[in-house]
Amino acid sequence: MLFRQLFDAQTSTYTYLIADESTKEAVLVDPVIEQVDRDYKLIKELGLNLYYCIETHIHADHITATYKLRKLTGCLGVVPAKAKVNCADIRIEEGDNLGVGGVNIEVISTPGHTSCHMAYLVGEDRVLTGDALFIRGCGRTDFQNGDAGTLYDSVTQKLFTLPDETLVYPAHDYRGNTVSTIGEEKQFNSRFARRTREEFIELMNNLDLPNPKKMMEAVPANEMCGKVAA
């Protein structure tokens, strides 16, 4: 399996390129519109065929590259089933498998950051946690039908039940970390470790964060699969 973590510095977003190296079938998870040229060039250099652009959720901080990559490569756009998006090619639910070639990508429903957020288990030992679980943190829960209690349940009852050695690859990191493990996050993620559901809700409901800079532009664009005026 080819597994590449790619970073967008402007929004601190991680995109993941995953491929079966023998069949050359590939997927991108959470591609960023400003990075289309970089990602498309890499896909071509590696001789890959892009099958899917997969979203963990409808992003509020950046616009997806799906629309542009679909035009360039003919790939299919994949979004969570309940997402408010009417242009997707495939709508996925818990337990679906988006595998390409010999690589399994299993869908894990992890709502809370948004109401339809999905995580993805890649093979047996890596999980793409999107904005549900960051390295020593988690996504906010104060817009897009986010709900702190729901996020607590998703993380503690779904993600934290994966084997401790599972590698955690988040959709963002703001401190320069690239990877962690489920075991580490259970022990050292101060949002969840030794904190009750009620304490987590209290914490999250009082973060008082400003809205993401691009939110008013990004959410409507992502509801159209990343289609923007040329």
Q: Reduced to 3 states, what is the DSSP secondary structure of residue 48?
A: coil
The tokens of 220 are what?
A: 């409507």
Q: CB of residue 135 vs its own copies: minimum separation in angstroms?
A: 10
Report phi then psi at 158, rounded to 5: -110, -65
The answer to the question of residue 9 lying near its own copies (CB under 8 A) is yes
Of residues 18, 25, 35, 88, which one binds its own copies by CB under 8 A? 35
Segment contacting its own copies by CB under 8 A, of 76-84, 146-154, 173-181, 203-211:
173-181
Nearest to residue 133, comparing CAs of 83, 177, 178, 168?
Answer: 168
Report yes or no: 76 and 98 within 8 Å, Cβ to Cβ. no
- State yes or no: residue 184 binds its own copies (CB under 8 A): yes
Least separation in angstroms between residue 213's CB and its own copies is: 17
- Give, as ranges, the residues between 105 and 124 that touch its own copies (CB under 8 A): none
Q: Is 167 in the site for its own copies (CB under 8 A)?
A: no
3-state secondary structure 85-146: CCCCCEEECCCCECCECCECEEEEECCCCCCCCEEEEECCCEEEEECCCECCECCCCCCCCC
Cα–Cα distance, 76 to 27 (Å, whole number): 9
Stretch touching its own copies by CB under 8 A, among 54-62, 81-89, 174-182, 210-218: 174-182
Is the Cβ of residue 13 or residue 222 nearer to its own copies in the bound state? 13
- Residue 80 CB, nearest approach to its own copies (Å): 25
Dihedral sign computed on CA atoms, order 40, 45, 51, 56 = negative
Residue span binding its own copies (CB under 8 A) among the ranges 34-42, 58-66, 105-113, 200-208: 34-42
Is residue 143 part of the contact set for its own copies (CB under 8 A)? no
Distance between CA atoms of residues 192 and 118, nearest Å: 19
Residues that bind its own copies (CB under 8 A): 4-9, 35, 38, 42, 45-46, 175-179, 184, 187-188
